[in-house]
């Protein structure tokens, strides 16, 4: 039986996925929108921790900023599963990738998707995502289609699966690597790490935090290496907003 999840503490470092963790999924990436309540929650967390909060998402950084707006603090963030990362000072690093190969894959996918209503192809800049939430019956086709591109993409790319999505992303970058990079920098350095996520891509984050002796928290059902679990998005909000402990 898992130990009860402890109350959040202001001297921890928080790494948070977005879709399925802080926000419910939409049937299209652009159908999801942040709201004032989420901005208030994140601003409060940022203030309580002295800025030790980072979003770690499959979305691009520009999309994260679109969702959260500019009214509150500009959070540290890792986008596209860590391919791009903004530290707490606002400095952005983009990891290199084979752009020509990715563009060739995009063109092939775009041609195939045009004949399959319900599939949505998202070009994030350094990665591609094929969504089938609008047409779950096409899930198997979407996976076969993307995997058929693997020989042409070569070892510099990998296929990443998720909830009603299959992605093409540069190899060697994942959410766990992003967390470890943040943990070498202020204000995250030296703090216990917390990672909250809901999907297969978040398992890298869970594993990294487990190695650091932190709190890995899975949202929803499914097999996981996370050591704690919250039922749904509402439970994540409730936990993050619950009685804060001061450092001992």
Distances (CA, A) of 38 to 12, 30, 48, 69, 71: 20, 17, 15, 11, 12
Other beta carbons within 10 angstroms of residue 70's beta carbon come to 9
Give the Cα separation of 245 and 223 in Å (integer). Answer: 30
Give the Cα separation of 207 and 203 in Å (integer). Answer: 6
Distances (CA, A) of 155 to 62, 144, 172, 184: 27, 18, 10, 28
Give the Cα separation of 13 and 81 in Å (integer). Answer: 18
Exactly one of 11, 17, 33, 198 is catalytic; which is it? Answer: 17
Q: For residue 79, what are the contacts with CB-CB under 8 A and spacing of at least 6?
A: 57, 58, 59, 60, 61, 62, 63, 64, 85, 86, 124
Q: Is 17 labeled as catalytic in the residue annotation?
A: yes
- The torsion angles phi and psi of 136, rounded to 5 degrees, stand at -55, -25
Nearest to 188 by CA among 163, 212, 169: 212
Q: Tell me the catalytic residues.
A: 17
């Amino acid at each position: 039986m898992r130990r009860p999840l402890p109350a959040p503490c202001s001297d921890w470092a928080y790494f948070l996925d977005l879709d399925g963790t802080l926000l419910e999924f939409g049937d299209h990436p652009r159908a999801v929108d942040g709201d004032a309540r989420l901005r208030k929650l994140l601003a409060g967390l940022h203030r309580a921790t002295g800025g030790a909060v980072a979003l770690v998402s499959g979305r691009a950084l520009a999309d994260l900023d679109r969702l959260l707006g500019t009214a509150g603090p500009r959070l540290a963030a890792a986008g596209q599963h860590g391919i791009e990362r903004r530290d707490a000072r606002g400095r952005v690093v983009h990891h290199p990738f084979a752009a020509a190969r990715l563009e060739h894959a995009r063109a092939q996918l775009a041609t195939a998707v045009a004949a399959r209503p319900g599939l949505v192809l998202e070009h994030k800049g350094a990665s591609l995502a094929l969504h089938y939430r609008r047409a779950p019956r096409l899930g198997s086709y979407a996976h076969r289609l993307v995997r058929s591109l693997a020989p042409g993409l070569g070892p510099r790319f990998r296929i990443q699966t998720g909830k009603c999505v299959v992605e093409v992303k540069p190899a060697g970058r994942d959410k766990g690597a992003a967390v470890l990079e943040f943990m070498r920098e202020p204000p995250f350095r030296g703090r216990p790490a917390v990672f909250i996520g809901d999907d297969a891509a978040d398992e890298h984050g869970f594993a990294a935090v487990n190695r650091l002796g932190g709190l890995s928290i899975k949202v929803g059902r499914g097999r996981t290496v996370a050591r704690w679990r919250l039922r749904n998005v509402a439970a994540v909000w409730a936990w993050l907003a619950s009685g804060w402990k001061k450092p001992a």
